[in-house]
Chains A and B, each alone.
Chain A
Amino acid sequence: MNVRALLFLLLGVGNAFAQGFAGLGTDAKGFAVPERGRHLAFPQDHGAHPDYRIEWWYVTANLTGPDGADYGLQWTLFRSALAPGEGAAWESPQVWFGHAAVTSAAVHRATERFARGGTGQAGVTAEPFAAWIDDWQMAGDSLDRLRLTATGKDFAYDVAMRAEGPIVLHGEQGYSVKSAKGQASHYYSQPFFAVEGTITLPEGEIPVRGTAWLDREWSSQPLAEEQSGWDWFSLSFDTGEKLMGFRLRDAAGGDFTSATWIAADGTATPYGNGRLVATPVETSRVKGQDIPTRWRLTLPDRRLDVTVGALNTQAWMDLGISYWEGPVRVAGSHPGKGYLEMTGYGQR
């Protein structure tokens, strides 16, 4: 899921950040680099890795209200380092960003928070697990039992998440390759959360329940230079099986795809470049640009042939960095629900 890395590195967050990252490009001077064969250890690796340039704790949830209406929920904590390592108080080179969103078929609401590491305003601890920025938090005794909260000017949510399956490692035991040139990240997920809680909107509180998917990824040299953006899918099928897949778009047209098929018991099967095929079939006008909001996904190895359509085509994250992220419905050989993220379409 290098998408986000690209976001930060290439688009930058506002002027200040863009300049701060300018010139860093895709090299990883001074930062630790993901290594093939590194064994991921838990709960330690649930915590922050300040020696790597970027990292995130990324939750997406597909929820349903009492009337059957669909809702999507996003909670993300990004860590981006100006330099490797930690420092005391304001001297910390770690910068934290939070993004939160609530999406219904009609309305998409999103907001963001910023913080510096070192003061306690934002951070992550592995045990007991807690990830927070300001009053937003994802915390619990362990990663299996979490409470997730966020507030914005015009929305808030507070939900409990309970893991009903194992953690899933992507790529080679959590080493996920992102380009033919070998750029990679450490990447694992917990896609088996059951969720229950409330979403608060200006109109009132809505009790919701459903499923959530947590992504964890960290890296320092995320994308090849010519890669311009990505389309990323996390799908949960009615059969209990799941699919994580992404397509990294190349300016020259040579797309790079990768997928992980997750059986209902959590057994993961990675599929390398070219096995998953993702084709846009319909675009919508979003913020003045055409964004693909209906896709065809095929994975012949699994006889998968589905269409993936946005619940709300206008799920644009119009924040310091902007991208499209929202819930989707899946139809075809494997019906289900999921989340879609697309970046690099609105180069601001």
Chain B
Amino acid sequence: MTGAILSALASHWRRNRLQLLTLVLGLALATALWSGVQAINAEARASYDAAAATLAEGRFDQLMPPEGDAMPQALFVALRRAGWLVSPVVEGRLRVGGTAVRLVGVDPLTAPPGSAARAALARADLDRLVRADTLVAGPQTAALLAANLSNPVLVDQAVAPGTVLADIGVAQKLLGRAGRISRLIVLPDQPLRQRPLAEIAPNLLLQRADGATDVGRLTDSFHLNLTAFGLLSFAVGIFIVHGAIGLAFEQRRGMVRTLRALGVPLRRLIVMMVLELVVLATIAGALGIVLGYLIAALLLPDVAATIRGLYSADVAGTLQIRPAWWLSGMAMALGGALLASASALWRLARMPVLASAGGRAWALATGRTRKLQAAAAALLLAAAGVLAVTGTGLAAGFALLACLMLGAALALAPCLGAILRLGEARAARAMAQWFWADTRQQLPGLGLALMALLLAMAANVGVSTMVSSFRLTFVGFLDQRLSAELYVDAEAVADRAGLERFLETRSDAVLPIMSVDATLAGLRAEIFGARIGYTYRENWRFLDAVPAVWDEVEAGGAVIINEQLARRAGLSVGDALALGPGLSMPVAGIVGDYGNPIGQAIVGEALFRQAFPGVVPRRYGVRTDDPQGLRQALVEAFDFPPARLVDQAALKAFSLSVFERTFSVTGALNVLTLAVAAFAILMSLLTLAAMRLPQMAPVWAMGTTQRRLAGMEILRTVLLAALTAVLALPLGLALAWVLLAIVNVEAFGWRLPMYLFPAEYTRLMLFALGAALSAALWPAWRLARMEPAALLRIFANER
């Protein structure tokens, strides 16, 4: 009997190859979406991390030589043997073909995890680094090195331009500094017991980690948000799988009826259908994973490098297939298929043997289910509202997200129905009236595909908003904190006044950076003195501030605090803050701070010097058009070690350029999700096409051309897509808002500002319409080219 059932089941697919194709492709695409998004997410993370890691060079404590720019390597060994986990760095300028590059030599075995050097070197192999004298550099610098040196060169996008990484032994040789090192990185985790530093290396200067450029907190938040969107793409995929599976079952109701009438037990039939599904889902899943990888590879920016990545691991920072993607992709295909088939099987199991096969179309929801759906939607959205107002905790944040998305998806059909009814009521002409009425009738059939489109579009709006908001915040924060072109670490200079005079004459502006640890409102904090000039006025953005905030601070009558201090101490603009005994002033502005966990207060330079006369500036920010020239001049005039002069502008520009890659990645995400949603629409249209003929034939017979009907079919699809896209916009924004303003606050305790990008949304909208249009073209073309005889048969045959 099994053989007979199998051949009956299979015969359906043989006769309906298009349906088989849509089922397999639908499943494959949903899987591709998931695995593609995973790949893209990983790339986005990598790009962001590379940008962050470049800035993180100052993230570790360092031990510097007391004078000059070198110390004996023996100090490194002495410290290690005393239990100090330190890692040596040798750094110097190397002339290569007339250009000077910064050569940084590190020891990959002891370098701390999270350092840019370690990340870059982890991609190369130890043998090549240590014994083949390999150099690691970004693309431009790599070309320069390859042309002038005999060393093997490894290209790594994450290495800043003009910088070359190498094993410390190789670097010492190239710099002619055997046995000498420039500084020691102090690893964050030190052992339980170690001898005091003063005993081993009393002369070394401990330079504390520079917290200002640590974007770790932004990074964590970015990762969390990307994960949330990964799950969202999973939801889109499930909708598409659900649609494809639902069709596969409903189309075979007639056959199931016949088989059962012929005496096939229901249980056996269901088992066979599930098995069949598992086989198809496995094939489709495998196909989808490969497809997802290829799509991601093609959409991602560095196509050439990525393709090379397919064949060898020679190019760093390219796409890699990870086992987790395979597994989760397979789970997506199989789990999604079984989940989606559960309801179809349930209905099949409850269907009376002699139920009509064709009477009720597969998805024509009855009035009762429609009402149920609307009620569920209302309930979910109400729950989302309640959670938004009263919910606390990360779980509530994610529950809110789920309620919002599911509620919106369920509410889509009722909303569209209402809009279409409105259109129908206002239609004056017969064709127009029919158009609206007929469009409404297509809703149940297209419902799942439209929900997928809604979620895809909302996800895209959400991702664009989130990533772009991150970008603005990131850039704004960098502009604010790294506004000067050159940073001069003045610790080693005795003649502080001379240095200041020198800088004054050679630059556009000098910003002394001076701070003092303090306890503000009972919390550990720092007070900064700022020389307020155009730099601060132009670059700083406030979360909240009085209009003339800088004037008041400059005059010594007010203070600026960071968000951390404001939130923890419950301070708002206008509240008074005690900076010390007898020194209390109002808060004039609150500024977002993503690089530092403790509170900060900023006062004018005059007030600071008056209140803390003993504090001298540790560092100077210098505004100049010629950072390289000034750098050179400083090295000559004050014998500055180069490590004490940070060309922050170059660093910042580089990290921004790396971060830009994240945006091409979002573009890829947009293309991918919308393409998949478009395919879902195409699939639904093709399946509905046969069912549509009896609905359209009378209109045609009544005096319309096929071409006009085809045109209206296109228009109908585009209209539905447009309405869905319009509804998706607020949903996407709500999504982004929940992530930035609720989930982020619950997870990290601070709120990420949300910005709006109308041009981007318009582009997305047009793209969605284009996707729907391209999905509608083929079915419409088929309709327009159909033989009249096919339409005429409708009127003659008992179907």
Contact = CB atoms under 8 A, between A and B. Distances in A.
Q: Are A and B co-members of a single complex?
A: yes
Interface string A178-211: 0000000000000000000000101000000000
A119 B127 contact: no
Nearest to A119: B77
A289 to B, nearest CB: 15
B354 interface: no
A150 B152 CA distance: 39
Interface string A106-142: 0000000011100111000000000010110000000
A114 B125 contact: no
A39 interface: no
B191 A17 contact: no
A200 B125 contact: no
Nearest to A17: B126
A114 B187 CA distance: 13
B80 interface: yes
A14 B724 CA distance: 49
B682 to A, nearest CB: 42
Contact of B131 (A14, A19, A82, A200): A82
A160 to B, nearest CB: 17
B109 A19 contact: no
Contact of A93 (B110, B131, B170, B179): B131
A151 B192 contact: yes
B169 A20 contact: no
Contacts of B131: 82-83, 93
B122 A135 contact: no
B192 A155 contact: yes
Most chain A C-beta atoms within 10 Å of own C-beta, residue among B74, B122, B129, B191: B191
Most chain B C-beta atoms within 10 Å of own C-beta, residue among A14, A83, A89, A135: A135
A154 interface: yes
A116 B73 contact: no
Interface in A1-53: 14-20, 22
A287 interface: no
B73 A134 contact: no
Contact of A16 (B77, B108, B110): B108
B123 interface: yes
B191 A153 contact: yes
B189 A89 contact: no
B126 A82 contact: yes
A156 B192 contact: yes
Contact of A116 (B81, B85, B107, B194): B107
A14 B192 CA distance: 25
Contact of B193 (A90, A93, A119, A156): A156
B563 interface: no
Most chain B C-beta atoms within 10 Å of own C-beta, residue among A91, A132, A155, A200: A91
Interface residues of B, number: 37
Size category, A interface: 20 to 34
B168 interface: yes
Contacts of A91: 169
A153 B190 contact: yes
A152 interface: yes
A82 B122 contact: no
A202 B191 CA distance: 11
A135 B191 contact: yes
Given A114-B110, A134-B83, A151-B193, A90 B127 contact: no
Contact of A151 (B80, B83, B126, B127): B83
B679 interface: no
Nearest to B108: A16
A152 B85 CA distance: 11
A135 B108 contact: no
A119 B180 CA distance: 12
B167 A153 contact: no
Contact of A20 (B81, B85, B126, B189): B126
Contacts of A14: 122
Nearest to B80: A134
A194 to B, nearest CB: 25
Given A114-B110, A151-B191, 18 more contacts: A14-B122, A16-B108, A16-B122, A16-B126, A19-B127, A82-B126, A89-B179, A93-B131, A119-B77, A120-B81, A121-B77, A134-B81, A134-B83, A135-B83, A152-B191, A154-B192, A200-B193, A202-B192
16 contacts: A15-B122, A16-B126, A82-B131, A89-B169, A89-B179, A91-B169, A115-B80, A116-B130, A120-B81, A135-B194, A151-B83, A152-B191, A153-B189, A153-B191, A156-B192, A156-B193
- 9 closest A-B pairs by beta carbon, nearest first, are A90-B169, A19-B125, A135-B83, A151-B191, A114-B109, A20-B127, A20-B126, A16-B126, A134-B80
Interface of A: 14-20, 22, 82-83, 89-91, 93, 95, 114-116, 119-121, 132, 134-135, 151-156, 200, 202
